[in-house]
Amino acid sequence: MADSVKKWYVVRAIGGQENKVKSYIETEISRLGLSDYVDQVLVPTEKVIQIRNGKKINKERIYFPGYIMVEANLTGEVPHVIKSVTGVIGFLGETKGGEPVPLRKSEINRMLGKVDELAIQNDNVAIPYTVGETVKVVDGPFNGFDGIIENVNEEKRKLEVMVKIFGRKTPLELSYMQVDKIS
């Protein structure tokens, strides 16, 4: 097998240990001097904003839990080296004793496009709330109350919501993350 064309393969790994397995694969490949055969090892992630105790926390969430993408030329010992790494279950799509199946070009473009798209679009997501829309408060002291949007402040990413508390309308200033649309 003389061609050194690298293709993308999906390696199945133990869930929750994708990044650890990725570093194990990279270490093992470089230790054995097989870096010419493996271009990159990728764990597709996305940035997620969570609210914990009223604070926004940016986290990276693994897009395909239990899967790692590897761009490699699987010749000689390379597949066996990758399979023998701690935490690796095997290649996706391989038959017993057969060759691992590479991803199709369309699948690769979709996966890599998604990764690039998620890297670009991190915090400037415009959340389309409109004045007069009814929303439910999901965070903060007024959790569980429904209200009507009176004003939308795009720059501050805040909403002014009128909530009925004890029969009186009360204006609240809430962030986009503190409310959910009622469909």
Question: In this predicted model, what pLDDT tens digit does every residue of 4-47 receive, in sequence order?
Answer: 688 999 999 998 899 999 999 999 999 999 989 998 899 888 77
pLDDT at residue 76 is higher than 50: yes
Q: Please tell me the predicted confidence (pLDDT) of residue 4.
A: 63
12-26, 58-72, 119-133, 166-180: segment of lowest average pLDDT: 119-133
Closest CA to 150 of 136, 133, 175: 133
82 CB-near residues (< 8 Å, 6+ apart): 11, 25, 28, 29, 70, 72, 74, 88, 91
Q: Please tell me the predicted confidence (pLDDT) of residue 120.
A: 54
Q: Please tell me the predicted confidence (pLDDT) of residue 1.
A: 41
Q: Please tell me the predicted confidence (pLDDT) of residue 24.
A: 94
Please name the fold of domain 134-181.
SH3 type barrels. (2.30.30)
Task: Give me the mean pLDDT over the 103-112 stretch.
Answer: 81
Q: Tens of pLDDT along 77-102?
A: 888 899 999 999 989 877 776 778 88
Q: What percent of the chain has pLDDT over 70?
A: 87
Hey, what CATH class is 7-120 in? alpha beta
pLDDT at residue 67 is higher than 80: yes
Mean pLDDT estimate for the chain: 83
Residue 74 half-sphere exposure, CB side, CA atoms within 13 Å?
19
Q: Where are the domains of the chain?
A: 7-120, 134-181
Task: Give me the mean pLDDT over the 145-160 stretch.
Answer: 87
What is the C-alpha separation between 23 and 93, in angstroms, rounded?
23
Confidence band for 2, pLDDT divided at 50, 70 and 90: very low
Q: Please tell me the predicted confidence (pLDDT) of residue 126.
A: 53
